[in-house]
Amino acid sequence: MAALWGGRFEQGASEAFARFNASLPVDWRFWAEDIQGSLAWAGALAEVGVLTQSEAERLQVTLQSLAEQLAADPAPLFESSEEDIHSFVEAWLIGEVGDLGKKLHTGRSRNDQVATDFRLWCRKTGKQLLAELQQTLEVMAELAKGELGTLMPGYTHLQRAQPVTFGHWVMAYVEMLERDLERLEDALKRVNVCPLGCGALAGTAYPMDRERLAKALGFERAARNSLDAISDRDFVLELLQLASTSALHLSRLAEDLIFFGTGEAGFVKFSDTVSSGSSLMPQKKNPDALELIRGKSGRIFGAMAGFSMTLKALPLSYNKDLQEDKQGLFDALDSWSDCLLLAREVLGTLEVNREACAKAAAGGYSNATELADYLVAKGIPFREAHHLVGVLVRIALEQQLPLEALTLAEMQQVSEVIDEDVYPALDLTAALEKRCALGGVSLARQQEALKALHGRLAAKAVRRATLEDVDAIQVLIGHWAGEGENLPRTREDIIHSIQDFVVTEVDGQVAGCASLYIYSTGLAEIRSLGINESAHGKGLGQAMVQVLMDEARELKLKRVIVLTRVAGFFDKQGFKVIFKDSLPEKVMKDCKLCPRQDNCDEIAMEHRL
């Protein structure tokens, strides 16, 4: 096919320039998004009379056929000599439908086309990365759960400092990756803006309803300024910054684990599945997966720095320099995804040597601060206590003994206030339990932190229901109605009240539902709560209840009720048992229709807001 811009030129591009200018070897990854945008554009052209409805439908059917073919076999993308993915799709379309295919580009530029494709791809890929971050956090939570009581030394300056637990160490990285997830969620709000219809730079000459076009493509809104829309790439830069920050966190995790796995530390053992050997030294087992995570972080940082330099001096509006926006981001997000996957595999197969961890914690004078606190409790000012403990540590070092192995007489030579009760104070487990403030390493605080994490992860899986969820909701309600746990509801009823529902997902499938029904008096009820039996124990039911309770607070409701056979579950959510006759609305509206009215074993509960 001739170049899309050839009419102005008497000569064609040189072979070297054509090769240098072409982007299909990179932007072929946009094929699905380019077709998606073209499908929407065909519909928009029909709305403004550029295409007839039958022409638009013919183009759309042909585009969908191309999508099916490329999904089955993308080889034509790699064999084509077209300049870019837009040229590829247009050439194929013209080959199939002739001159009609040439009409599709009316009012559209490759500038707003590529910006739209890129945002669609970033939104899709960003959602996939959110899921991968969530999966990684779940693996980390499972590891932390098993090691909450595993004593190990904490470090500052890579020197043993105070005792912590392996679980507490894992949860530190949980906090980092959870912030990465939150940053990505926030960034995707700015990605989700539609440039289509902004043309080359000044907007389209056709009276498109751009907000409607944006909604058709799943965008939150249309871009507000055409110059900005076609030349903006700060969403790319933001994703590169996010990837760099998360890669930094994963690199730190890898470095810690590499150290923990050395013969000198021996805290952990890596699975054979994520390790390699030496071609010369048969005894070696190398943590290559972790070293590659650490190494690939540099590539991601490099992509961010490189694209920052590309953007820094570009005038408005579009410049061909922006063709360099893709390769670095593709590589960075691919590398981020790979690092998350390998982190999950390493952590999910990790063996912790609890004995070695505890021995290291006991051998590094990590209870010195406890001894200083002991002296403070005896009335000695902290600075003086700090000095006295330093003297005792020196004495212990000279004898190659831990502090707790010094005799009482030796300790009393340094401070007369020390007595027999010093030894329980030097116990490392007791030292952990003293760190009971929020964020501390006591077992109770660790358990609270892990429980809160599970709640936050479950809440991430809750969203408002849509009409696409009706069938799944009906199956869930029907199942639990059959078990006698809730009332049956018709499909028509579910459709009419879909705005009342939230759903929760597991692996992209609806696994639970619940609704908030508001009576005419302002009383609200949580209804139709049900979780797929395979998804029990993940905190999803609690998460849906909390989302509905937050909604009730936003609506300024004063009272939320529930009729249930699992009172213990709702008791944990702050509900209290009440008499059923205090619920006239509920009794009049539903209970008289219930076949079990005369033999009801449900308990009425309420939550006053």
In tens, the pLDDT along 454-470 reads: 989 998 989 999 999 99
- Residue 410 shares a structural domain with residue 552: no
- Assess if residue 267 is contained within a domain: yes
- Assess if residue 569 is contained within a domain: yes
Q: What is the pLDDT of residue 601?
A: 74
Is the Cα torsion angle 220, 222, 227, 229 positive or negative in sign? positive
- Assess if residue 334 is contained within a domain: yes
What CATH number is attached to the domain comprising 257? Answer: 1.20.200.10
Average pLDDT over residues 74-96: 95
Q: What is the mean pLDDT of the chain?
A: 92
Secondary structure of residue 52 in the 3-state scheme: coil
pLDDT tens digits along 225-274: 999 999 999 999 999 999 999 999 999 999 999 999 999 999 999 999 99
Q: What is the pLDDT of residue 580?
A: 81
Q: What is the pLDDT of residue 593?
A: 56
Q: What is the pLDDT of residue 534?
A: 87
- Residue 210 shares a structural domain with residue 135: yes
Residue finishing a domain among 106, 126, 141: 106
> What is the C-alpha end-to-end distance of the chain, expressed in Å?
67
- Assess if residue 499 is contained within a domain: yes
> Among 463, 577, 464, 587, which residue's Cα sits nearest to residue 519?
587
Residue finishing a domain among 106, 133, 165: 106
Percent of the chain with pLDDT over 90: 80
pLDDT tens digits along 462-499: 999 999 999 999 999 999 988 888 888 999 999 999 99
Average pLDDT over residues 332-354: 97
Q: What is the pLDDT of residue 158?
A: 92
- Residue 120 shares a structural domain with residue 263: yes
Angle between helices 110-146 and 166-191 (to 10 degrees): 160
- Assess if residue 455 is contained within a domain: no
187 CB-near residues (< 8 Å, 6+ apart): 126, 235, 238, 239, 242
Q: What is the pLDDT of residue 56?
A: 97
What CATH number is attached to the domain comprising 97? Answer: 1.10.275.10
Q: What is the pLDDT of residue 590?
A: 62
Q: What is the pLDDT of residue 33?
A: 98
Q: What is the pTM of this model?
A: 0.87
Q: Cα angle at 366 between 365 and 368, to 5 degrees?
A: 70
What CATH number is attached to the domain comprising 377? Answer: 1.10.40.30
- Residue 177 shares a structural domain with residue 295: yes
- Residue 416 shares a structural domain with residue 494: no
Residue finishing a domain among 106, 126, 161: 106
Average pLDDT over residues 406-424: 93
Calpha distance 479→432 (Å, rounded): 47
Lowest mean pLDDT among 134-138, 343-347, 362-366: 362-366
pLDDT tens digits along 518-559: 998 889 999 999 999 888 888 899 999 999 999 999 999 999
pLDDT tens digits along 592-601: 555 555 566 7
pLDDT tens digits along 261-314: 999 999 999 999 998 887 888 888 899 999 999 999 999 999 999 999 999 999
Among the options 54, 157, 279, 534, which is catalytic?
Answer: 157
| Cis peptide bond prior to 317, omega within 30° of 0 | yes
Q: What is the pLDDT of residue 103?
A: 96
Lowest mean pLDDT among 144-148, 295-299, 548-552, 584-588: 584-588
Q: Residue 507 — very low, low, confident or very high, per pLDDT cuts 50/70/90?
A: confident
Q: What is the pLDDT of residue 248?
A: 98
Instruction: Quote the distance between the C-alpha of residue 219 and its chain's center.
Output: 20
Strands (E), 78-200: 151-156, 159-165, 193-194
* Amino acid at the residue 474: Q
Q: Residue 446 — very low, low, confident or very high, per pLDDT cuts 50/70/90?
A: very high
- Residue 81 shares a structural domain with residue 129: no
- Residue 84 shares a structural domain with residue 158: no
- Residue 547 shares a structural domain with residue 405: no
Q: Residue 21 pLDDT > 90, yes or no?
A: no
Calpha distance 84→88 (Å, rounded): 6
Q: What is the pLDDT of residue 388?
A: 96
Q: Catalytic: 278?
A: yes
- Assess if residue 439 is contained within a domain: no
- Residue 46 shares a structural domain with residue 139: no
- 232 with 115: CB under 8 angstroms? yes
Calpha distance 557→560 (Å, rounded): 8
**What is the 8-class DSSP label of residue 416?**
T
Among the options 65, 81, 278, 582, which is catalytic?
Answer: 278
- Assess if residue 434 is contained within a domain: no
Domain span at residue 48 reads 6-106
Q: What is the pLDDT of residue 499?
A: 95
- Assess if residue 399 is contained within a domain: yes
- Residue 562 shares a structural domain with residue 594: yes
- Residue 338 shares a structural domain with residue 485: no
Residues in the chain, total? 609
In total, how many domains does the chain have? Answer: 4
8 CB-near residues (< 8 Å, 6+ apart): none
How far CA 433 is from CA of 352, 370, 427, 496, in Å, comes to 22, 11, 10, 54
- Residue 85 shares a structural domain with residue 115: no
Give the β-pairing of 151-156 and 576-577.
unpaired
Q: What is the pLDDT of residue 2?
A: 54
Q: Which helix (H) or strand (E) holds 327?
A: helix 325-348
Percent of the chain with pLDDT over 70: 96
